[in-house]
């Protein structure tokens, strides 16, 4: 074997395409969207590199068109879950001994395939399955996932370069091993990039994975598993399973070889996984690493010195893009009464004018919410606000389930900063505003900090620098991603590493070295050149004659 000290190529963020009328990318993604709309794709499990089909198929309907079945997926049970665990364990020795540069090359090739020939397929599948506009699909399933794959390679390389010191008697080294066992990746519906980052980040570090995506993302995950296969990922390194989440998780968490969980989703589910691991702790071969990015109740706080137009735009884009179903979407806003008086009518007018509908119609800014359960939850929250003396509907407040799960972008005003909708995560297009007395900025900082158990994202809007300093200081634990004069969504890999604390997660910052470090169990090696030949130390020698 020839030796070289290889460096991975420096990463750059993938450019986001515009899809404006007349552009070639618009025509090509529209053509792919039309193909996939009619394809009724069959989605197998992928175990040991082989597609697992069955007669037992479950339909996936487009959220914006109930009657449209975009795919039918295999539902696995106990047998398939065990097969996925076994396949991950069988692939582990070969993958763990594959040199880093070769593992990295597979993910760099996957990034290039996604940036080029697979981009339209993956974007179109995300649009159909998750009801994303082309813009929202492009920044997620294309740009962010490409960035995850390229930047993670770079960060892993930096991590491997971290080595201890040596002296003339011995050479010390750190070897970055994968964890002993397999990693379980459980992923949410709302980001394709997260769905694939969670299994691939541990895989890059030498781990093999059982991957359970959210049902709503199975169409796009099916294509991305194919991208990884074409890129050269060996059989069994990532095994995709679908079915009853509780059964699958219960079985996987009972396996003594569970070495880690890479989770993104709701706080309650992560806490239940943590409890199960706690109950099983004596059974495991090693302490499983628990990484979870979970819920949020993200905020926008405005100071009386805030720029009103920037504030209004941030509230609309932040709260309503992708129907408010971003973990980072602001769902509570604290606006000084004087500012609120000036922006309220304009905000309401803009929100009422937001175009919403089928994502195949590129004039729309919003699609449908993900499923009936979400729709009912949002409808219930709006009804609660409408019937409450402490709140009123400023804009939106209408729902329509005839063709799809459509919830109009809704702004609610409350006179009570502890109003239920200021505290609970709804994960939909509902923004609740509390207009605070201008003189109470300091008191409002405490309210923002203490109103919810979460601490994911938040933003301060102010021209006054002293207000920015004060907010950044007082809200130091209220958000893992804090924005000054910007909406609190849209974090970019390599620029704003993402994650929150408190009930929002373990804050291991996806797309950064801090995340990758969780998927490695380093071994320190000391190699001594001339070992001692006598156990006795000099101090033990006979005393000198006096």
- Tell whether residue 272 is a contact of ligand NAD (CB under 6 A): yes
Site for ligand NAD, residues 178 to 197, rule: CB under 6 A: 186-191, 194
Please, what is the end-to-end C-alpha distance for the chain in angstroms? 63
Q: Which residue has the tokens 């979400």?
A: 374
- Tell whether residue 95 is a contact of ligand NAD (CB under 6 A): no
CA dihedral 474→480→486→488, nearest 10 degrees, is: -120
Can you tell me which of 46, 356, 448, 456 binds ligand NAD, judged by CB under 6 A? 456
Task: Please identify, using beta-carbon distances, which residue of 239 and 294 lies nearer to ligand NAD.
Answer: 294
Task: Please identify, using beta-carbon distances, which residue of 404 and 505 lies nearer to ligand NAD.
Answer: 505
List C-alpha distances in Å: 338 to 342, 390, 436: 7, 19, 9
Can you tell me which of 81, 192, 249, 410 binds ligand NAD, judged by CB under 6 A? 249
Site for ligand NAD, residues 228 to 247, rule: CB under 6 A: 245-246
Paired sense of beta strands 41-43 and 258-264, if any? unpaired
Q: Is there a contact between 337 and 343 (Cβ–Cβ < 8 Å)? A: no
Which distant-in-sequence residues (6+ apart) come within 8 Å of 73 by Cβ?
42, 43, 44, 57, 58, 60, 215, 218, 222, 242
- Tell whether residue 269 is a contact of ligand NAD (CB under 6 A): yes
Which distant-in-sequence residues (6+ apart) come within 8 Å of 285 by Cβ?
180, 181, 256, 257, 259
> Would you list the DSSP string of 30-71?
HHHHHHHHHH-EEE-EEETTEEE--S-EEEEEETTEEEEEEE
Catalytic residues: 293, 327
Q: How far is the CB of 498 from ligand NAD (least distance, A)?
A: 6
Residues touching ligand NAD: how many (CB under 6 A)?
29
Q: Is there a contact between 397 and 59 (Cβ–Cβ < 8 Å)? A: no
- Tell whether residue 265 is a contact of ligand NAD (CB under 6 A): yes
* Pairwise CA distance, residues 527 & 167, whole Å: 11
Task: Please identify, using beta-carbon distances, which residue of 295 and 429 lies nearer to ligand NAD.
Answer: 295
- Tell whether residue 293 is a contact of ligand NAD (CB under 6 A): yes
Q: How far is the CB of 194 from ligand NAD (least distance, A)?
A: 6
Q: How far is the CB of 369 from ligand NAD (least distance, A)?
A: 11
Q: How far is the CB of 269 from ligand NAD (least distance, A)?
A: 4
Among all residues, whose Cβ is closest to ligand NAD?
Answer: 265
Q: Is there a contact between 503 and 292 (Cβ–Cβ < 8 Å)? A: no
Site for ligand NAD, residues 195 to 224, rule: CB under 6 A: 212, 214
The distance from CA 173 to its chain's CA centroid, rounded to whole angstroms, is: 33
Q: How far is the CB of 262 from ligand NAD (least distance, A)?
A: 11
Contact string (CB under 6 A) for ligand NAD, positions 413-432, x = contact: ------------x-x-----
Q: Which residue has the tokens 């010191």?
A: 165
Can you tell me which of 130, 131, 251, 504 binds ligand NAD, judged by CB under 6 A? 504
Q: How far is the CB of 164 from ligand NAD (least distance, A)?
A: 33
- Tell whether residue 324 is a contact of ligand NAD (CB under 6 A): no
DSSP state of 144: I
Pick the piece of the chain touching ligand NAD (CB under 6 A) from 155-163, 173-181, 263-271, 412-420: 263-271
* Pairwise CA distance, residues 7 & 157, whole Å: 7
Q: How far is the CB of 246 from ligand NAD (least distance, A)?
A: 5
Give all strands (DSSP E) within 178-236, no chain letters: 182-186, 209-212
Task: List interacting residues with ligand NAD (CB under 6 A).
Answer: 186-191, 194, 212, 214, 245-246, 249, 264-266, 269, 272, 293-296, 327, 425, 427, 456, 498, 500, 504-505
């Amino acid at each position: 074997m020839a030796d070289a000290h290889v460096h991975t190529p420096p990463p750059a963020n993938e450019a986001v395409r515009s899809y404006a009328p007349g552009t070639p990318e618009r025509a090509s993604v529209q053509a792919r969207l039309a193909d996939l709309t009619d394809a009724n794709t069959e989605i197998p499990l992928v175990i040991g590199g082989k597609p697992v089909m069955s007669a037992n198929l479950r339909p996936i309907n487009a959220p914006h068109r109930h009657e449209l079945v975009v795919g039918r997926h295999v539902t696995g049970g106990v047998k398939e879950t065990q097969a996925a665990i076994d396949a991950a364990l069988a692939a582990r020795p070969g993958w763990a001994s594959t040199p880093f540069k070769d593992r990295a090359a597979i993910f760099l090739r996957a990034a290039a395939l996604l940036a080029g020939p697979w981009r339209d397929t993956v974007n179109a599948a995300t649009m159909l399955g998750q009801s994303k506009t082309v813009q929202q699909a492009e920044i997620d399933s294309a740009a962010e996932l490409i960035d995850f794959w390229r930047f993670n390679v770079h960060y892993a390389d930096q991590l491997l370069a971290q080595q201890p010191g040596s002296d003339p008697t011995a050479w010390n080294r750190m070897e970055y091993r994968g964890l002993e066992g397999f990693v379980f990746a459980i992923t949410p519906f709302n980001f394709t990039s997260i769905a694939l980052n969670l299994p691939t980040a541990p895989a890059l570090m030498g781990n093999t994975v059982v991957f359970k995506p959210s049902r709503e993302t199975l169409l796009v995950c099916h294509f991305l598993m194919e991208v990884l296969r074409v890129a050269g990922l060996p059989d069994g390194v990532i095994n995709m399973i679908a079915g009853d989440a509780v059964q699958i998780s219960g079985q996987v968490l009972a396996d003594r070889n569970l070495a880690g969980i890479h989770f993104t989703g709701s706080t309650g589910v992560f806490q239940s996984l943590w409890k199960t691991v706690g109950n099983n702790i004596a059974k495991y071969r090693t302490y499983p690493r628990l990484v979870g990015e979970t819920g949020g109740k993200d905020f926008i706080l405005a100071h009386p010195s805030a720029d009103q137009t920037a504030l209004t735009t941030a509230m609309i884009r932040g709260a309503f893009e992708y129907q408010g179903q971003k973990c980072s979407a602001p769902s509570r806003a604290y606006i000084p009464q004087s500012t609120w008086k000036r922006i309220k009518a304009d905000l309401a007018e803009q929100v009422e004018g937001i175009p919403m509908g089928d994502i195949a119609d590129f004039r729309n800014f919003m699609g449908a919410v993900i499923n009936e359960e979400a729709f009912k939850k949002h409808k219930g929250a709006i009804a609660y606000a409408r019937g409450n003396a402490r709140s009123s509907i400023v804009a939106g407040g209408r729902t329509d389930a005839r063709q799809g799960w459509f919830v109009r972008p809704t702004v609610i005003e409350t006179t009570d900063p502890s109003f239920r909708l200021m505290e609970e995560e709804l994960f939909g297009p509902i923004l609740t505003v509390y207009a605070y007395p201008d003189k109470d900025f300091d008191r409002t900082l405490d309210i923002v900090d203490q109103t919810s158990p979460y601490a994911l994202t938040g933003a301060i809007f102010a021209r006054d620098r002293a207000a920015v300093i004060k907010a950044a200081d007082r809200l130091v634990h209220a958000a893992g991603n804090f924005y000054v004069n910007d909406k609190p969504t849209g974090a970019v890999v390599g620029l704003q590493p993402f994650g929150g604390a408190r009930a929002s997660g373990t804050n291991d910052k996806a797309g950064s070295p801090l995340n990758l470090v969780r998927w490695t169990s380093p071994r320190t090696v000391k190699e001594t050149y001339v070992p001692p030949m006598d156990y006795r130390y000099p101090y033990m020698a006979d005393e000198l004659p006096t």
